[in-house]
Structure 1
């Protein structure tokens, strides 16, 4: 009798285990079957829609940039100004206008110059017009916050550098971030050394675009360090050369490499953050 009851209980347990196993199989099938496929399709569909939206935005911005570049060569400058004013009305920030319109336009012009599609005269005319438009925009909408005198930066183009539009954008970005900015258009390299000897700059930023200037950078960096009033000065390099040949600037001895105005500000803010190591080389990704 005892053995018969034990056998019956074993059979009942086996039946329960079998039913539980079937229920688990059903749940697993539900998760990995049609319901799981629907979730995957929805996820992939959402990703694809997001990708299409980003591509559409990129296409519209590209078209706007090309239109602006074409207008820079037009005899009537008012249409260029109208585009700038419309974009500022939309975003309310001169730096965003530079990021969304001026900087992409400068890259298009630079690429056209490198491809021999534009001559020097046309490039000069376009960049000069763009610089005037940016100066007008920043003059009409000046920074409202006062500068912090403990955060000082000297910005200048490398001696012999002919393109300074990007430097103007970086200068405005520093001012809007409450930095005390000296932006010099030095006729001679010696004038730069006199300025750094007379002022305790926390950062010295040099804009470089031409490969031909690279050979002189090492000696220039050495002189800037030796003659600077601030013995822990940080040297930052910017300009189109940085995107083409960052290693060249690193080899010359620069501490920081900034690819645009926003990265220049981010790196500069890191410099004045407590605990920053002045001997640390940082490159903007």
Structure 2
């Protein structure tokens, strides 16, 4: 993968020898013997690099001292996944602190470590490499780490309050096979909007009517919906239409996020939405561009 340096030439001395075997450690049985070699090669060579590519975008609003750092590699993501699945979160926190000590920003860690780790946990579960208990522990720990580092993340860049309000929520009633991972993506987006000075509303509405009631009662400049891969497009389009009809802001923007729209960005216009949230950083840029365009139209 372009831009990724071998671990031995980046942070080996700082992070310790165990980091070198991050991917390999995920593919061992309890007795230390390796699992199916072909499956290991598939995940190590395809699943993890794909996750890294999905979450790797051009830097924006990143502290200057982070520009020169080497990119996170697949071993580091896999090692972090192993740490968050353990029942002691202290090791995962220490791992983050070591990366911060060599100049890596929390923005980079949120986007290039925590977010890909959440996706990796889901993929490992779907191919039966981890059981639901281990993955649930891992995702809960990721949520805890996000809350722990959220205040420091907000102070990494200067931001100004501007009075804009955003609602982030998963699509109500969808057949979400991995609700914790889904919710984690929402939390990442919320952290970026909060840092950019937005008044962030979040929740997990249990029904379409509940979400519609919220946008009818409260003013939002933007509504962000995260969508599971299994959700039919017509269901998403119906929800977007319901939000627009009910919103007390007749010019409300609608942003959607989820792997299905990363793979098929052309679907965004098909469902009547305005923009796609690839990750938290790009979501902010998209939101600013969208609201600027709407302001010029008014």
Q: Which residue of 2 aligns with 1:104?
A: 116
1:81 counterpart SS class: helix
One of 85, 91, 97 as aligned partner of 1:73: 85
CA drift of 1:253 comes to: 1.6
CA drift of 1:52 comes to: 8.4
Q: Which residue of 2 aligns with 1:186?
A: 205
CA drift of 1:122 comes to: 2.9
2:292 counterpart SS class: coil
Structure 2: runs of 5+ lacking an equivalent: 11-69
Q: Where does 1:165-180 land on structure 2 (aligned, <5 Å)?
A: 165-180=184-199
CA drift of 1:159 comes to: 1.1
TM-score, normalised to structure 2's length? 0.67
CA drift of 1:205 comes to: 0.5
The 3 A distance-change label for structure 1 pair 224 and 275 is closer
1:147 aligns with 2:161: yes
User: For 2:122 and 2:274, how far apart are their aligned partners in 1?
Assistant: 26
Q: Which residue of 2 aligns with 1:30?
A: none
User: For 2:187 and 2:80, how far apart are their aligned partners in 1?
Assistant: 19
Deviations 1:116-168 (A, max 9, x none): 4334333222111111111111145544745311x221111111442210111
Q: Is the 8 A contact 2:227 2:257 kept in 1?
A: yes
Q: Is the 8 A contact 1:214 1:249 kept in 2?
A: no
User: For 2:3 and 2:225, how far apart are their aligned partners in 1?
Assistant: 38
Deviations 1:163-187 (A, max 9, x none): 2101111101011111121122223
1:121 aligns with 2:140: no
Instruction: Give the structure with the higher percent helix.
Output: 1
1:211 counterpart SS class: coil
CA drift of 1:215 comes to: 4.3
TM-score, normalised to structure 1's length? 0.70
One of 240, 252, 272 as aligned partner of 1:221: 240
User: For 2:86 and 2:227, how far apart are their aligned partners in 1?
Assistant: 29
Count of residue pairs the alignment pairs up: 228
Structure 1: runs of 5+ lacking an equivalent: 1-50, 279-285
Q: Which residue of 1 aligns with 2:63?
A: none
Higher-RCO chain (CA-CA 8 Å, sequence separation at least 6) = 2
Q: Is the 8 A contact 1:170 1:260 kept in 2?
A: yes
CA drift of 1:53 comes to: 6.6
User: For 1:260 and 1:125, how far apart are their aligned partners in 2?
Assistant: 23
User: For 2:229 and 2:241, how far apart are their aligned partners in 1?
Assistant: 20
1:239 aligns with 2:251: no
1:263 aligns with 2:275: no
Q: Where does 1:43-62 land on structure 2 (aligned, <5 Å)?
A: 54-56=4-6, 61-62=73-74
